[in-house]
Amino acid sequence: MRTSIATVSLSGSLTEKLTAASRAGFDGVEIFENDLLASPLTPEEIRARCADLGLAVELYQPMRDIEAVPEEEFARNLRRARHKFELMRRLGADTVLVCSSVSPAAVDDDALAAEQLSRLADLAQDFGIRVAYEALAWGRHVSTYDHSWHLVRTAGHPALGVCLDSFHILSRGSDPRGIEDIPGEKIFFLQLADAPQLAMDVLQWSRHYRCFPGQGGFDVAGLLRHVLRAGYRGPLSLEVFNDVFRQADAGPTAVDARRSLLALQEAAGTADLPAPVVPTGVAFAELVTPDVEPVTAVLDALGFTRTARHRGKPVDLWQQGQARVLVNTAGAVRREGTQLAAIGLESPDPAGAARRAEALLAPVLPRRRAPEDAPLDAVAAPDGTELFFCATGQPHLPDWRADFEDVAAPADTGGVERVDHLALTQPWHHFDKAALFHRSVLGLDAQESVDVADPYGLQRSRAVTNADGSVRIALGVGAAPTDDTAHAQHLALATGDVVAAARRFRAAGGRLLPIPANYYDDLAARHDLPDEELETYRDLGILYDRDAGGAFRHCYTETVGRLFFELVQRDPGYRGYGAPNAPVRLAAQHARHTAR
């Protein structure tokens, strides 16, 4: 099917928007009137630019407040329309979007509305133009798609059809099954947008919080299936009004938009993509450091052993249980400090995972390997973290550890069993895109997003996981772009006994993040914990949380560069990450930072 995007969804000048849409592989665009009015290009030049870029002008929009008004006013509206139709002829656009009226002058009279829409369509027809009538969710008298279809059917004009917009339909909770009652050829246009579930005024919700399908909480794929069953064969067009995307670079936003449409078409059964290959574990976490001593001191105190060294690069493998940490001293930037640069995802089919990623427009990274190295397929996540698809001890697949030479056996003395989760910090405008990327490219499920109060701003976090929880990645958006703590990443290590692990860490010279006494006084009131246990937590700085599935006990090391470690004791049924404790942790980290 043809794909299209509304220019309002992208930032920049009209030329920048068109270039971004074309580069991302869209077949067409909806031109928003404001983008045209603000452009120095003539309509003919815009038309030529679109043709050069391989973009069809699928729609011109919007026309507002046309129908159900007194005759003198309607005559003025027709004059306005004639002017627009002349413009559209120059632009080479043959479909115009007309929004249901929001004017106080409009009357609640379906017969009048249908008659005037029919007269508008008469005029449009003279110009070879079709009118697509869209029910705005906040329209004065027409606010549902079935009502807009009722008017279109009543008018019975060949140049008049409906425009369906998933936001207006799903935000009002309309039942999309009724779409199948509309003949496909009377659906002139389809606009697709998702949105997070918010309880707010629908106009504000639409104008500020729309997002690309798969980034929000609507069943857009379900709606698309109904539209296709109705027989619609026009373009799938994204129309997203979003405060963040208005500010972000148009190029990457357009690529996200295309990724969203590909995943949507797959979900609706109209695109054949390589099947998702869901990762089955974390093979390794790779730290890049300009300052190897402080990192290895922490790893050592945590009970890790340097077990192997890469044959060709300054990369050491530190291991404990199934937790593997690569310490890479090549290419580190001192100013950026130590950071989590790559994740090895255990994959049952690394090549298939890479094919899927590529089909979904993930940036595939050049293989950093010598001829004798094991093949490693990697893509870049939106925050720049490299994701490697690899195999550890799987028969029939090359093992990434073959590139390493053993230097010692792991001692497994610290009680760490494996990686519990990785927490990555996204640039502030990447929150929605990051969730969509991890869902569609990696086949992970996204959990609810949570807001966490930081002393200097609000952070948002959303976890993506596989079904058995052996891969958990927490995607966080920092409060202030300049704030160090907001930019901290962390590596959480699973242990069966956090008290023993914390004690061992401290005895080995490690420094745990101290937690204020007030926290423990409150914990005593919230949970029925034995005094002795509370005292132990207070002493070590262990935080506690509980949900329906069980308990979560965790504590933190000091921060090295951009990174800190967390020791985690998770009951099998506990789903979260200790979010209620995060404000206390963030405040404690700020306090440490200021004290230094």
Ligand X SMILES: O=C(O)c1ccc(O)c(O)c1
Residues annotated within the binding site for a divalent metal cation are 134, 165, 191, 239
Residues 239-298 that bind ligand X (CB under 6 A): 239
Half-sphere exposure of residue 403: CA atoms within 13 angstroms, side-chain side: 23
Q: How far is the CB of 468 from ligand X (least distance, A)?
A: 41
Of positions 35, 67, 165, 346, contacts Mg ion by CB under 5 A: 165
Asked if 414 and 302 touch (Cβ cutoff 8 Å), the reply is yes
Q: Is 99 in the site for ligand X (CB under 6 A)?
A: yes
For the sheet with 543-547, list strands across it: 445-454, 457-465, 472-477, 416-426, 489-495, 563-570, 550-556, 543-547
For the sheet with 305-310, list strands across it: 377-380, 386-390, 339-346, 281-288, 323-328, 315-320, 305-310, 404-406
User: Which lies closer to ligand X via its Cβ, residue 59 or residue 474?
Assistant: 59
User: Which lies closer to ligand X via its Cβ, residue 166 or residue 466?
Assistant: 166
Distances (CA, A) of 496 to 468, 535, 563, 573, 574: 17, 20, 23, 14, 14
Residues 391-450 that bind ligand X (CB under 6 A): none
- Residues annotated in the binding site for Mg(2+), as ranges? 421, 490, 566
User: Which lies closer to Mg ion via its Cβ, residue 147 or residue 368?
Assistant: 147
Of positions 144, 206, 425, 495, contacts ligand X by CB under 6 A: 206
Q: How far is the CB of 58 from ligand X (least distance, A)?
A: 13
- Residues annotated in the binding site, as ranges? 134, 165, 191, 239, 421, 490, 566
Using CA atoms, how far apart are residues 355 and 596, in angstroms rounded to an integer?
47
With CB under 5 A as the rule, give the number of residues binding Mg ion.
3
Q: How far is the CB of 136 from Mg ion (least distance, A)?
A: 8
User: Which lies closer to ligand X via its Cβ, residue 218 or residue 520?
Assistant: 218
Q: What sign for the dihedral angle of Cα 269, 271, 274, 277?
A: negative
Distance of CA 202 to the CA centre of its chain: 22
The DSSP symbol for 101 reads P
Q: Is 165 in the site for ligand X (CB under 6 A)?
A: yes
User: Which lies closer to Mg ion via its Cβ, residue 67 or residue 165?
Assistant: 165
Of these partners, Mg ion, ligand X, none, which one is at the site of residue 99 (CB under 5 to 8 Å by kind)?
ligand X
Q: Is 350 in the site for ligand X (CB under 6 A)?
A: no
Q: How far is the CB of 232 from Mg ion (least distance, A)?
A: 15
Q: How far is the CB of 239 from Mg ion (least distance, A)?
A: 5
Beta-ladder partners of 320: 323
* Burial annotation 232-264 (CB, 10 A radius, 16+ → b, else e): bebbbbbbbbbebbbebebbbbbbbbbbbbbbb
Give me the residue whose beta carbon is nearest to Mg ion. Answer: 165
Residues 167-196 that bind Mg ion (CB under 5 A): 191
Q: Under DSSP, is residue 436 helix (H, G, I), strand (E, B) or coil?
A: helix
Give me the residue whose beta carbon is nearest to ligand X. Answer: 62
Using CA atoms, how far apart are residues 165 and 192, in angstroms rounded to an integer?
6
Of positions 62, 139, 410, 541, contacts ligand X by CB under 6 A: 62
Q: How far is the CB of 193 from Mg ion (least distance, A)?
A: 8
Asked if 401 and 326 touch (Cβ cutoff 8 Å), the reply is no
Q: Return residues touching ligand X (CB under 6 A).
A: 61-62, 97, 99, 134, 136, 165, 191, 206-207, 239
Q: Return residues touching Mg ion (CB under 5 A).
A: 165, 191, 239
